[in-house]
Amino acid sequence: MKSINPATNKIIKEYREHSAEEVVDIINHSHEEWLQWRTTPFSHRSELMLKVAALLRNRKSELATLMTLEMGKIIRESEAEVEKCAWVCEFYAENAEQFLTDEEIVSDASRSFVAFHPLGLVLAVMPWNFPLWQVFRFAAPALMAGNGGLLKHASNVPGCALAIEEIFRDAGFPAHLFRALMIPSAMVEAVIDHPYVTAVTLTGSEFAGSEVASAAGRQIKKSLLELGGSDPFIVLDDADLDLAVPAAVSARLINQGQSCIAAKRFIVQESVLEEFTNRIHKTFAALKVGDPMDPETQIGPMARPDLVDDVDRQVKESIRLGAILIAGGARYDRGGCYYQPTILTNVKPGMPAYSEETFGPLLAIIPASTEAEAVSIANDSVFGLGGCVWTKDVTRGEQIARQVESGAVFVNGMTKSDPRLPFGGIKKSGYGRELGSYGIREFVNVKTIWIA
């Protein structure tokens, strides 16, 4: 496996892959340690998870630099990601026992209740765009619930995978309870097939999700999928543009636009369309593009050359079909995987900028004449992960939020994940929920106990 800096396209380091025999050996060792771990009290698990949070903060500079070098995230976003990982560890350290306390239920028994018991080893197939956060939002609840974890990380962030494994080990977790498998995607099915692997969670593309879900289904094993998104950013005629415009820029360009919950379709009522577009254009023109290690940089490189190729195709094809280019629309001539922050207007059905997930710095503006049309456009998507609504009337905003077909809708705020709130999608954005009390109950045996 090669770690390549997308800002320079130079190799950082090469890593040796695990052989099939080594993978089986790791799984067997992990299972042996899980048999003991599942019986440990919550107090012990909590103590270790709080140590993980402390180690994350102590190593923030080192970990942030590693993320930025491996996938191009600007350094201040990398530092914020490390802090968020520490937060999710603390959240489950403090709340897991309460979330998994026996639930008493009145029935014809003298006593009946629901108990929540760990399943075993959970395989996590994780993406590159948030190399630490995607892993910790799975690992913190899974381990606190008494499970073990196996990580198959994206092949372009191998250093991050091993750094996470090291943190759990250094915090005092059993050495094999959480392991990074240095394997290609072709070996994932064999891991799922292993009898000691009881469930799988994946964050990634529709194709990867369908492949992993199919493999898990053949073995009748639990799966959770968090896939793509084409989140609507609805700007109503009474929106406060002083708030909506800065949020729109952040919601689209976070992580260079490489986020499942980044706003992608900006559905704007016609009475505020011109002013919204002009303000967005002005803000885009002032963005500083450069070295992601520079704290002043606002736009860094995309993670890989093929991702640049894909967003460039989406832009050019949408323009060919009638979209109007307002800003950007081309690669930067500076080496590395840089693409200009791009604005398209007059975006309509059938264009890639309307119908596909755009995973890059492409902001697509879609006009809507009425509130009802705005909702209809928002729901005209195969995805349903997140979305937001901007209006000065919060009652109106809530009514629209209830109509938008997605796993989360934010009123007067950009879509984000929060350890306290369930996170996940519908339609082709996947199924199941991470985070909150719902997330920790995804990988447990919900066991009914009835006593006469």
Question: What residues act catalytically?
Answer: 226, 260
What tokens does 318 get?
Answer: 């949408």
Are the C-beta atoms of 254 and 407 separated by less than 8 Å? no
Are the C-beta atoms of 342 and 329 separated by less than 8 Å? yes
In 3D, which of 172, 145, 146 has the Cα closest to residue 50? Answer: 172
Max Cα distance, the chain (Å): 75
| Burial of residue 183 (number of CB atoms within 10 Å: 0-12, 13-18, 19+) | buried
- Residues 140 and 35: their CA atoms lie apart, in Å, by 18
**Strand pairing report for 111-118 and 444-451:** antiparallel
Alpha helix (H) residue ranges in 38-132: 42-58, 60-71, 75-99
- Residues 435 and 424: their CA atoms lie apart, in Å, by 9
In 3D, which of 323, 401, 335, 388 has the Cα closest to residue 362? Answer: 323
Query: Which H helix or E strand runs over 242?
Result: helix 241-253
- Residues 142 and 296: their CA atoms lie apart, in Å, by 37
Are the C-beta atoms of 31 and 25 separated by less than 8 Å? no
Query: Which H helix or E strand runs over 378?
Result: helix 371-379
Are the C-beta atoms of 377 and 354 separated by less than 8 Å? no
- Residues 24 and 22: their CA atoms lie apart, in Å, by 5
| 438 SS3 class | helix
Apex 281 CA angle, 279 and 284, nearest 5 = 110
Sign of CA dihedral 87, 93, 96, 98: negative
